[in-house]
Amino acid sequence: MGPRLFRILIVLAGVMGADGVMLAAASAHQPDAARLASASSMLLFHAAAVLGTVALAERGVIRPGIGILAAAGFFVATVLFAGDLTLRHYAGHGLFPMAAPTGGGLLIASWLALAVAAAWPKPR
């Protein structure tokens, strides 16, 4: 795994974090904004998960290939989940049918991939 891929994931995590803060602010100032609060939480939690996973993979604490797959999964899944909730709030419709549940399922799979990456360390 090259430093370029790590850097891309770190940039994406930064964008996720910024979006999470913006949605938290929007949810605090708009009526009936529970979807935005949920989207914000998912973005903030999983931005940290991407950063942590990249750091563990870069240091060889977890199996890098599976770890990076998990980090990428966190990103894609969070975009699906939070994007769907945000679009429902602002536009009245979602990304596509089952986008949020698909994102949620992918988040679960990504957390399990992280567990596998830690349980199956890279041979020394």
Considering the domain boundaries, does residue 11 fall inside one?
Answer: yes
Considering the domain boundaries, does residue 93 fall inside one?
Answer: yes
Considering the domain boundaries, does residue 91 fall inside one?
Answer: yes
Count: domains in the chain? 1
Considering the domain boundaries, does residue 22 fall inside one?
Answer: yes
Question: What's residue 52's pLDDT?
Answer: 98
- How does pLDDT run across 8-61, given as a tens digit for each residue? 999 999 999 999 999 999 999 999 999 999 999 999 999 999 999 999 999 999
Range of the domain at 98: 3-119
Angle, helices 99-119 vs 64-91, to 10°: value is: 160
Percent of the chain with pLDDT over 90: 93
Percent of the chain with pLDDT over 70: 97
Q: CATH no. for residue 111?
A: 1.20.120
Structure tokens at 15: 């964008």
**Number of residues that make up the chain:** 124
Considering the domain boundaries, does residue 43 fall inside one?
Answer: yes
Q: Which residue has the tokens 């957390």?
A: 111
Question: What's residue 123's pLDDT?
Answer: 66
- pTM for this structure? 0.93
Residue 115 clears pLDDT 90, i.e. is over it = yes
Check: CB of residue 81 under 8 Å from CB of residue 42: yes
Question: What's residue 2's pLDDT?
Answer: 79
